[in-house]
């Protein structure tokens, strides 16, 4: 378990840095650019991310899985990497052509063609990022160190060059260049795996899982990324600004658990490859404990103090983001458990058909709900669409997991965690209506008190093994420093 915790630490730093550094500049950006220009950047970025999904297809997930299986044999790594890399080159070229056509045929995109051109750079850079190679090899330390250095320069550049509302183009360019620099560094250090001669490319064995998982990602985006695009076309950039602001904190907090999932995927694949089913199921239980212990207190605190959080993050003029944020926060629990089902169970089991069916069900629900709710309720409607769609996908995923390995939804475990949360809810309400300091101080005091309550519950009453182990390790570090 020590290597998992070590990788989890690096992966946590890496994943959270992808959101923490933008969060450091977002309070500044939101005030300088204003809600409409923030919404324009969010709208364009949502479209580019959609084309990135098309270009990547299922390469990221398949790449992690396949590289993890052959990570002890460099010649097999080279063959696997080269095959997937050149397959990815084909899909990226197709996505690039479609994107260029869209820029010149859709008026709303042509209106912001300069930002769309920057998006083209982001699309190509994402192809060259090859993060899946390093994740499969479990080289989390390398990725983390490299990323942190680049992001520090990114933050400095934001404060140096973004000075007025018209600088949203510079902001979008700097955000894209951060990915570009990381991509070139990744390619440089991975050059020994770029093999053209003496390597037989085997696209056939990867074609089906790449397409299935890629379609899954694209269909899943019908109730995630598509929400932003549809909201932008139907309701305008200001509503997109509310929606993206509301999702800012949620995505950062979910990133902490996603870091754990990214570490677990190659490890779960290895356990299945070695036939260690008991250890595989034990990892599932540990993942559930971590999810409930982490996400429930965060949800309670964030829902209660949404106005304060929005004020701290974005400032005045973003009050329209409060209700969408409250709707989104329970998605931490829902999507977190989905990641256990899909990425930690169904993906290592290679149940690609089940994953595909999940995506079709979620996409149908997402499209129908978008058409029905977004024109009426705008950013609030988009948040409701996302919430309901994820609930549908979770139910479908749980059905398939139970069918294949007889793992049931942990109703009892969730119920116990929720019951222990009732005093925390009352405590949050008491603090919210009695603290009379600034929003930041109020939130900090509430976070400290509520966080301490849940830590005591996890350690001494629920006896969560992950928290106990982490607590003891922290004590050892403190004692060593003394």
Q: What is the pLDDT of residues 359-403, one digit of tens each?
A: 889 889 988 999 999 999 999 999 999 999 999 999 999 999 999
Q: What is the pLDDT of residues 224-239, one digit of tens each?
A: 778 888 999 888 889 9
Contact 245, 38 (CB under 8 A): yes
pLDDT at position 190, please? 73
The answer to whether residue 83 scores a pLDDT higher than 90 is no
Tell me, yes or no, whether 366 lies in a domain.
yes
Task: Give, as one character, the DSSP assignment of residue 407.
Answer: P
Sign for the CA dihedral angle at 204, 61, 85, 175 comes to positive
Among candidates 185, 213, 171, which has minimal Cα distance to 45?
A: 171
Tell me, yes or no, whether 450 lies in a domain.
no
Q: What is the pTM of this model?
A: 0.77
Tell me the C-alpha distance between 121 and 108, whole Å.
19
Among candidates 343, 349, 263, 334, which has minimal Cα distance to 292?
A: 334
Q: What is the pLDDT of residues 92-141, one digit of tens each?
A: 999 999 999 999 999 989 999 999 999 999 999 999 988 888 877 777 77
Contact 336, 271 (CB under 8 A): no
pLDDT at position 102, please? 94
pLDDT at position 212, please? 77
The dihedrals phi and psi of 359, each to the nearest 5 degrees, come to -65, -40
pLDDT at position 254, please? 72
Q: Which two tokens stand for residue 350?
A: 């290679």
Confidence band, pLDDT 50/70/90 cuts, at residue 266: low
Question: Between 245 and 192, whose confidence is greater?
Answer: 245
360 CB burial (10 A radius; 0-12, 13-18, 19+): middle
For 85-89, 265-269, 311-315, which range has the lowest pLDDT when averaged over its residues?
Answer: 265-269
pLDDT at position 193, please? 62
Tell me, yes or no, whether 138 lies in a domain.
yes
Tell me, yes or no, whether 472 lies in a domain.
no
Tell me the C-alpha distance between 168 and 164, whole Å.
8
Tell me the C-alpha distance between 214 and 209, whole Å.
8
Question: Would you list the DSSP string of 195-247?
Answer: --TT-----HHHHHHHHHHHHHHHHHGGGTHHHHHHHHHHH-HHHHHHHHHHH
Domain assignment of residue 293, given as a range: 2-409
Tell me the C-alpha distance between 242 and 229, whole Å.
13
Tell me, yes or no, whether 445 lies in a domain.
no
The answer to whether residue 260 scores a pLDDT higher than 60 is yes
pLDDT at position 324, please? 94
pLDDT at position 84, please? 86
Extended strands (E) in 211-339: none
Mean pLDDT estimate for the chain: 85
Residue with the two structure tokens 């994402």: 126
Confidence band, pLDDT 50/70/90 cuts, at residue 453: very high
- Residue 269's contacts (CB-CB under 8 Å, 6 or more residues apart) are 64, 65, 68, 69, 347, 348
Count: domains in the chain: 1
Q: Provide, rounded to the nearest whole percent, the portion of the chain with pLDDT above 90.
A: 42
Tell me the C-alpha distance between 413 and 150, whole Å.
41
The answer to whether residue 1 scores a pLDDT higher than 50 is no
């Amino acid at each position: 378990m020590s290597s998992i915790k070590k990788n989890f630490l690096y992966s946590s730093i890496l994943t959270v840095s992808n959101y923490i550094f933008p969060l450091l500049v977002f309070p500044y950006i939101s005030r300088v650019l204003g809600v409409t220009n923030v919404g324009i950047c969010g709208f364009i970025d949502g479209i580019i991310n959609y084309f990135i999904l098309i270009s990547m297809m299922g390469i990221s997930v398949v790449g992690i899985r396949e590289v993890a299986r052959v990570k002890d044999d460099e010649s097999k790594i080279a063959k696997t990497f080269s095959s997937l890399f050149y397959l990815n080159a084909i899909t990226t070229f197709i996505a690039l052509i479609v994107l260029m056509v869209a820029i010149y045929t859709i008026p709303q995109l042509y209106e912001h063609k300069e930002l769309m051109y920057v998006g083209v750079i982001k699309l190509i850079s994402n192809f060259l990022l090859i993060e899946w190679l390093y994740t499969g090899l479990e080289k989390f330390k390398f990725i983390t160190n490299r990323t942190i250095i680049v992001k520090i320069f990114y933050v400095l550049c934001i404060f140096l060059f973004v000075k007025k509302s018209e600088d949203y183009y510079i902001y979008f360019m700097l955000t894209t260049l951060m990915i570009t620099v990381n991509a070139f560094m990744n390619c440089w250090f991975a050059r020994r795996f770029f093999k053209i001669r003496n390597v037989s490319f085997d696209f056939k064995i990867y074609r089906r899982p790449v397409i299935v998982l890629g379609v899954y990602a694209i269909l899943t985006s019908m109730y995630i990324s598509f929400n932003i695009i549809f909201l932008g076309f139907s309701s305008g950039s200001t509503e997109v600004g509310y929606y993206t602001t509301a999702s800012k904190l949620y995505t950062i907090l979910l990133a902490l658990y996603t870091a754990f999932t990214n570490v677990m995927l190659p490890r779960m694949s290895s356990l299945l490859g070695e036939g260690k089913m008991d250890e595989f199921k034990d990892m599932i239980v540990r993942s559930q404990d971590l999810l409930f212990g982490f996400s429930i207190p965060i949800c309670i605190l964030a829902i209660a103090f949404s106005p304060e959080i929005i004020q701290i993050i974005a400032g005045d003029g973003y009050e329209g983001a409060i209700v969408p944020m409250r709707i989104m926060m329970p998605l931490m629990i829902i999507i977190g458990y989905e990641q256990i089902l899909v990425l930690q169970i169904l993906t290592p089991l290679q149940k690609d058909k089940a994953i595909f069916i999940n995506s079709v069900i979620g996409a149908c629900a997402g499209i129908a709900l978008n058409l029905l709710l977004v024109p009426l309720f705008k950013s609030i409607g988009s948040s409701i669409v996302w919430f309901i769609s994820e609930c549908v996908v979770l139910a479908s995923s749980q059905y398939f997991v139970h069918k294949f390995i007889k793992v049931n939804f942990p109703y009892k475990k969730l119920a116990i965690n929720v019951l222990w949360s009732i005093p925390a809810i009352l405590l949050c309400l008491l603090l919210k209506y009695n603290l009379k300091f600034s929003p930041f101080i109020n939130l900090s005091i509430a976070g400290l008190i509520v966080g301490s309550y849940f830590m005591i519950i996890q350690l001494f009453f629920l006896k969560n093994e992950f928290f106990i182990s982490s607590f003891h390790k922290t004590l050892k570090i403190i004692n060593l420093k003394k």
